[in-house]
Amino acid sequence: MSELALLTVGIRSEVRRDGTLHLSLQSTALNDPGPDEVVVEMVAAPLHPADISMLLGPAHLASGAITGKGEDRTAVFQIPPERMRPLATRTGKSLPVGNEGAGIVVAAGERHEDLIGKPVAVMGGGMVTRYRVVPARNLLPIPDGVPIGNGAAVLINPLTALAMIETMRKRGHNALVHTAAASSLGQMLNRICLQDDIPLVNVVRRPEQVSLLENQGAKYVCDSSSSSFADELNAQVAAAGATLAFDAVGGGKLAGQILSAMETHCLAQVFDYNRYGSKVHKQVYFYGGLDTRPSELDRSYGMSWSVGGWLIFDELERMKVEQLDGLRSRISAEMLSTFACEFAGELSMTELLDPDTLRVIAQRSTGAKYLVNPRKPLT
């Protein structure tokens, strides 16, 4: 390890008690890797919606102050006072950013020296940084012939999509509803479900996203902004036979509408009146919260239903080793097809800390996902 520079520099996000958000670069010393760890030099880290939420919180981006150059670059934004309360647990803490990325192994603990020099996908938090020490189990080697940038986003979204299917099977469901279905994750889930012959109802939020998914072979797509949405959702949920949904939207009436469509379908298959509704369990999991309003549940779908949080990291912890290995093998084999992800551009860490850039990123537009390349020179 003696030949290695033991310093790294990475992006930090800090909410301060005075109601400001500070984005900056921070230098920290790297620990030597333990026997089961490796040091990865990061080459590409994607900004997923969850990373953007972590980076920017609810800051007001219209007026930002930027100071310093290179490693001293700092961007400061105001946070609306009424948005501070939910941030209490992170206030005053300088948080690293980035759930995953791709890089080159530059040093390794004794059990993993064979990985040195190899390109790897890596997950574990704080990935928008020059170097990162991680447990080797957080890596997935990028196969020969796959450009390293194509390995930047092959863990979080692919594992999330595959874990949704594992959850579906484990809980005895046979079909899925997915919301915000035009997202990178949604398009990936659509490819998996087509391949595996799993009926999938794609709920999108804009008319043009219907054709986007239909052009990719999706059988069931409905647009929540359409005036006939409830009818379309009912018809598609019935045709798919879906009793499980993964919802990235969270707020408003959508989750309740999905449960209601499921219950309507289940009741159509029983003849006796049961005041407690159908006995088939109907489930909506929230895995995101694009709509920050409260979820409104009118409970008009009997008694056999549940909604709640679903977190990929907890799912991965609960998974058996063989099961997880199965998912990892599939990702390796299909990295350039099923699990491919497109990016709108590549930024250095200082380019990211520019108010104009941040405002673009904050829109989290479909098809406009950016990569940060921590090796790119700081300006």
Q: How many residues lie near a second copy (CB under 8 A)?
A: 35
x-marked contacts with a second copy along 7-46 as a string, rule CB under 8 A: ----------------------------------------
Can residue 279 be called a binding residue for a second copy (CB under 8 A)? yes
Parallel/antiparallel/unpaired status of strands 37-46 and 100-108 = antiparallel
Per CB under 8 A, which region of 1-9, 58-66, 306-314, 327-335 contacts a second copy?
A: 306-314
Query: Three-class SS of residue 186?
Result: helix
Least Å from the CB of residue 279 to a second copy: 7
Alpha carbons 180 and 162: distance in angstroms, whole number: 17
Can residue 273 be called a binding residue for a second copy (CB under 8 A)? yes
What are the residues whose beta carbons fall under 8 Å from the beta carbon of 46, sequence distance 6 or more? 100, 101, 152, 153, 341, 343, 369, 370, 371, 372
Q: How far is CA 310 from CA 137, 180, 280, 334, in A?
A: 22, 15, 20, 25
* Binding residue for a second copy, selected from 19, 199, 241, 289, defined by CB under 8 A: 289
Can residue 267 be called a binding residue for a second copy (CB under 8 A)? yes
Q: What are phi and psi of 164, to 5 degrees?
A: -60, -40
* Binding residue for a second copy, selected from 18, 144, 197, 275, defined by CB under 8 A: 275
Asked if residues 291 and 252 have their Cβ atoms less than 8 Å apart, the reply is yes
Can residue 311 be called a binding residue for a second copy (CB under 8 A)? yes
What are the residues whose beta carbons fall under 8 Å from the beta carbon of 350, sequence distance 6 or more? 25, 69, 70, 73, 378, 379
Can residue 296 be called a binding residue for a second copy (CB under 8 A)? yes
Burial category of 268 from C-beta neighbours within 10 Å (exposed 0-12, middle 13-18, buried 19 and up): exposed
* Binding residue for a second copy, selected from 208, 298, 342, 356, defined by CB under 8 A: 298
Q: CB-side exposure of 64: number of CA atoms within 13 Å? A: 23
Residues 147-206 touching a second copy, rule: CB under 8 A, are none
Can residue 145 be called a binding residue for a second copy (CB under 8 A)? no
x-marked contacts with a second copy along 92-131 as a string, rule CB under 8 A: -x-x------------------------------------
Least Å from the CB of residue 6 to a second copy: 24
Taking phi over 0 as left and psi of -120 to 50 as alpha, with beta for the rest, 215 belongs to: alpha
Where does this chain bind a second copy (CB under 8 A)? 54, 86, 89-90, 93, 95, 250-251, 256, 267, 273, 275-276, 279, 286, 289, 294-300, 302-311, 313-314
